[in-house]
Structure 1
Amino acid sequence: MRQDILWNYYQNEKPESFSGSIARLRYIAKRIPKGSNVLNIGVGGGVFEKLALERGLEVYALDPDEATISNLRNRLFLAERAKVGYIENIPFTENSFDYVVVSEVLEHLSDNQLKEAIEDIHRVLVPGGFLIGTVPSREKLEELVSVCPECGHISHRWGHVQSFSSSNLSDLLSKLFTVSEITECYFVAWNSLNWKGKILDFCKVLLFKIGIHGSGETLFFLARKS
């Protein structure tokens, strides 16, 4: 699947599609101490970068899409702190960052890409630095399959190729990191919802709190460089 085409469209033509990410990204930003050097991988609509700057973080950004990085540099004045590149080959030197953020990124990677990504994140973190982020929880990939009417290609609607549970996420991270936390969460961006959406998500939050799980849940993780 050509994920670069997918994200070039959403990040540059439909940045409002990332408005629902603000609760999740605000939660991550608040977990990072002020003054930290932070690399965010996978820019989306630039929501995390804006929140990080407001919090007083020294934020850097990495994304494979040139137009996305150009827009981010111009909008938030990040200059060379925002770079074009891939998670498997991060264009920053070793021991550069206190935190690396990967929120809703790992599920897009193949098995080989995941291995290389974890290794390169480990490389750019300072000793004792943290990998922090989120992935969809227990996602049933087959339920969001779409078919291209032009070529007949079958793929996940958002380009997901991995499904994570607490167990297999811990196995992945613990190869190079000490896992500090993996927590299942349900994030709601209330300000982006109409009244029907607020009622629906309020019910989902109540069900989540009493242990009844459904779609749209998230695994938050924090892992320390070993």
Structure 2
Amino acid sequence: MDIYICPKCSQTLKQDGVHKLVCFNCGKHYLENRGVTVFSQNKKWEENYSGAHEYYSSEKLSMLDGDEDYMSYLAPQPDSLVLDVGCGDGVYLTSTPSSCNAIGFDVSFSALVKAASRGIPNVKWICSDDGFPLKDNSVDYVICIFVVEHLTDAQISKLLKDIRRVLNKNGKALFVTDGPFYDVYFRPLFNLVLRGFLTPLDKDPYTGHINLMQRIKLSKILKSENFSISSSKVIFMGWRFLPFRFFIVALKKLGLGSMAEYFFCSKYSITCVNKK
């Protein structure tokens, strides 16, 4: 894929041998290490995430119930290119159609090494803490799953601008983010009942959820960055429990949808957007 650019001078990178990308303009080169092309690394991220987060445990993540459906919201076409932003150990790219190419992007080298060890066909793994080293309009689809809740508003704005830059004019993106209910209310109460103590909300900027948001706020942010919303939905805890489902539907019928999303077990939201 001749779509990589040099972060230093923004010129096209060329493959030099099997495991090296070279910029013939400035002479900078980027090596592949253990299946991961390393553009830059942030030791602070590695120190804080290593051993402290589920993506970096000794075991690879597995798909949870419903996870396999994320890619179906975008329905990637054959020969298209999918970019997974904040891919962690690559679990969500395991559902990429075999007819597509994909790039897994993350700030953590250790997570990407695990991702590369999955052996997913047609996927390249990129480590960088300074934006996507990709050409403008080079990507057909973007997935960004459980990432934005780890970022400040300023970081989210920067990320969305970079996503919009690399998406082609007909590109689509999918954002999945945790809502406030589970972390703020349910998990502390759950630990209080079962373990006898309250668990404070983890607001560490490297491991915690520092920016939990409802679907409404995320939609406003996406629109402010010139994305158009094509679909949006909230996943509620206990949604498959029929009486609870009727309760949520009734609240929506009464015009209390926002209250239902915030106070009544909203676990996460799924939002699909198009580039304007």
Class of the TM-score when normalised by the shorter of the 2 chains:
0.7 to 0.9
> Counterpart of 1:135 in structure 2: which amino acid?
T
Count residues with an aligned counterpart.
202
| Contact 2:84 2:142 survives alignment (8 Å) | yes
Which one has more relative contact order, counting CA pairs under 8 Å at least 6 apart? 1
CA apart distance, 1:172: 0.3
| Contact 1:73 1:79 survives alignment (8 Å) | no
Matched, 1:164 2:206: no
Identical residues among aligned pairs (%): 18
1:83 to 126, 130, 136: 126
Matched, 1:34 2:81: no
Matched, 1:180 2:265: no
Q: Deviations over 1:14-46 (max 9, x none)?
A: 445x3354522x111112223231000122342
1:118 to 143, 160, 173: 160
State the superposition RMSD in angstroms.
3.1
Match of 1:133 in 2: 175
Match of 2:18 in 1: none
| Contact 1:53 1:59 survives alignment (8 Å) | no
Alpha-carbon distance between aligned partners in 1 of 2:139 and 2:246, rounded to the nearest angstrom: 35
Report the TM-score when normalising by structure 1.
0.75
Query: For residues 180 and 201 of structure 1, do their structure 2 counterparts lie closer, same or farther at Cα, with a shift above 3 Å needed?
Result: closer
| Contact 1:137 1:217 survives alignment (8 Å) | yes
Unaligned segments of structure 2, at least 5 residues:
1-43, 189-199, 252-259
Alpha-carbon distance between aligned partners in 1 of 2:49 and 2:122, rounded to the nearest angstrom: 21
Matched, 1:207 2:220: no
Q: Larger C-alpha radius of gyration, 1 or 2? A: 2
Alpha-carbon distance between aligned partners in 1 of 2:179 and 2:246, rounded to the nearest angstrom: 15
Name the SS for the 1:218 alignment partner: strand
Unaligned segments of structure 1, at least 5 residues:
146-152, 188-199
Matched, 1:13 2:57: yes
Instruction: From the two aligned structures, give the one with the greater helix fraction.
Output: 1
Deviates further, 115-124 or 76-85: 76-85
| Contact 1:3 1:159 survives alignment (8 Å) | no
| Contact 1:22 1:47 survives alignment (8 Å) | no
